[in-house]
Amino acid sequence: MTKASTLIKEKRKRLNMTQKELADAIGLSKFGDRTVRRWENEECEPSKLELKAILDFPEDVPFQNKKDAKYKMIDLFAGIGGTRLGFHQTGQVQNVFSSEWNKFSQKTYYANFGEHPEGDITQIDENNIPDHDILVAGFPCQAFSQAGKKLGFEDTRGTLFFDVARILKAKKPAAFLLENVKNLKTHDHGRTFKVIMNTLNSLNYSVHYTLFKARDFGAPQNRERIYIVGFNKDKVKFADNFAFPLAPKPKTRVGDILEDHVDDKYTISDKLWAGHQRRKRENKAKGKGFGYTLFNEDSPYTNTISARYYKDGSEILIEQKDKNPRKVTPREAARLQGFPENFIIPVSDTQAYKQFGNSVCVLTIHAIAESIVDFLDTNLRQ
């Protein structure tokens, strides 16, 4: 019979995980990586439940590409694939190219889609990207050069939006979806958004945009984002007639995404809790509203989870009876963003918080994806 130490080590290596990542993935307590190390070194034995949790950790890719799907898409600034997932869920879209430079995000992407994204998009020749029908991108927001006068394509050079624009110009997909923070509209006194819109229009796209909140699509989080959709006028009839989906605005409740029996490692320390309270008092005295925010199971929704959540969790703290409040767990963070339960989290808690904080609300993306696919079904020129 194979030793537990060998089974654990072999499983971990197949998953391409560090001891810390495996410990966090199966929910071990703080310093769980030391426990995994002791198991592998045969200094102690895991319980039957602990061994089962490791051996049962999924190795099969949950979101296999749909090779016979009607539409092809590319996934730029892909992160962990939240936007891709929303389109995958339509059953009509296959992914043919993805780009993401962060190695930890690449690991999560590979675990869930079975593909390694290409690296830095700025180093990839647009002519080497496969033909596609839909381009999706959650590009970072940057100010454009004040030296520019044309308010168009050339003014975007040196920004990451330029890489979206040059690919649209070269490959001319029928449609695109861009996602960004709601402040994109007012960024750099509105100039950034003006350049983006002018650029997209100059590339022969009919462009539509709207703001949506995650909670209006069923995720209990007050995350507001701008969504920009465009249709190539040469390839899509009645391109000006696209309409975004109506937000269903279901009743949401934080308790619906909370786990039972959460490990104490997510409870914040006395020192951190005291610091949160002190800063909130100081900010209140100065007339500022910044500080921690508490939520409980009956709260309708939380604040927006951010990529810095791993630092102190101040924007979303969950109340606990007779204890300091706690951070949400990585699985709860995934649920806040509308990721399905079978989405694999193969990285440490710290990386998971960064990834979900940087990601998209999958429920919102899926609704928009359905609208885009339906519009193409009706209006794509043959």
Give residue-wise pLDDT tens across range 254-294.
999 999 999 999 999 999 999 999 988 888 888 776 788 99
Give residue-wise pLDDT tens across range 112-131.
999 999 999 999 999 999 99
Instruction: Name which CATH class applies to 254-342.
Output: alpha beta
Annotated catalytic residue within 22, 141, 168, 333: 141
Domain ranges of the chain: 4-55, 71-250+361-379, 254-342
Strands 317-318 and 294-295: parallel
Please, what is the angle between helix 48-55 and helix 4-15, to 10°? 30
Beta carbons of 309 and 327 less than 8 angstroms apart? yes
Residue 141 designated active-site: yes
* Sheet strands (E) in the chain: 71-76, 93-98, 134-137, 175-181, 205-213, 224-232, 294-295, 317-318
Which residue in this structure is represented by tokens 């606990």?
Answer: 320
DSSP for 158-181 reads TSHHHHHHHHHHHH--SEEEEEEE
* Whether pLDDT at 142 is above 80: no
Which residue in this structure is represented by tokens 């050079």?
Answer: 157
pLDDT of 289 reads 67
Which residue in this structure is represented by tokens 């005291």?
Answer: 274
Give residue-wise pLDDT tens across range 212-262.
999 999 999 999 999 999 999 999 999 999 999 999 999 999 999 999 999
* Whether pLDDT at 204 is above 60: yes
Bridge partner residues of 267 (DSSP):
326
pLDDT of 155 reads 66
CA-to-CA distance for 295 and 299, rounded, in angstroms?
6
Q: What are phi and psi of 99, to 5 degrees?
A: -140, 130
Average pLDDT, the chain: 93
| Average pLDDT of the residues in 309-320 | 94
CA-to-CA distance for 27 and 202, rounded, in angstroms?
51
Which residue in this structure is represented by tokens 């190695």?
Answer: 103
Query: By three-state DSSP, how is residue 34 classified?
Result: helix
| Average pLDDT of the residues in 61-71 | 94
How much of the chain, in percent, has pLDDT values that exceed 70? 95
Query: By three-state DSSP, how is residue 382 classified?
Result: coil
- In CATH terms, are 4-55 and 254-342 the same topology? no
Domain 71-250+361-379 is of which CATH architecture? 3-Layer(aba) Sandwich (3.40)
Domain 4-55 is of which CATH architecture? Orthogonal Bundle (1.10)
Give residue-wise pLDDT tens across range 77-110.
999 999 999 999 999 999 999 999 999 999 999 9
The more confidently predicted of residues 282 and 73 is 73
Q: What would the two tokens of residue 312 be?
A: 């102190």
